[in-house]
Amino acid sequence: MTDKALDDTLLASLKDSLLRKRGEILAASTGTRPIPASADVNSRQGDMADQASGNNEVHIQLKLKATDAKILQAIEEALFRMEKGIYGVCRDCGDPIAPARLTAIPWTRVCISCKQKQSA
Ligand SMILES: [Zn+2]
């Protein structure tokens, strides 16, 4: 009898990935943001077109941050599920999530078929 689709070795490496990714996001959101060298060249002031592109950049950065926040939340949930021993189970249908999918996205909440239903 085994409820566990994941062996401990894989679980440990996934946990490692989660912790590392969490560290990356936290470092990125609290530390200095790397700015591409080209941003300086394009940020001349006093020109309508430049202002527009400037606004666009801000928009993109906000979007990235929102995505990071979502991932961060998902990582916390994944770590919590690991603590509870229910990691790797689809939130929607309760089926085990394929280890390959977990390896690719360790913080995923749903299996691939539920994910496809979501985005459809
Ligand atoms: Zn599912």
Residue 5 CA, ligand 1 centroid: distance in Å: 14
Burial 28-51 (b: 16+ CB within 10 A, else e): eeeeeeeeeeeeeeeeeeeeeeee
Give tens-digit pLDDT for 56-66.
Answer: 666 666 666 88
pLDDT of residue 110: 95
Residue 93 pLDDT > 80: yes
Q: How far apart are CA 69 and CA 31, in angstroms?
A: 15
Residue 97 CA, ligand 1 centroid: distance in Å: 7
Q: Quick one: average pLDDT of 42-60?
A: 57
Rounded to 10 degrees, what is the CA torsion of 17, 117, 60, 36?
A: 40
pTM, full prediction: 0.68
* Residue 111: Cβ within 10 Å count: 22
Residue 99 CA, ligand 1 centroid: distance in Å: 13
Residue 116 CA, ligand 1 centroid: distance in Å: 9
Residue 25 pLDDT > 70: yes
Residue 106 contacts residue 21 (beta carbons within 8 Å):
yes
Residue 64 CA, ligand 1 centroid: distance in Å: 27
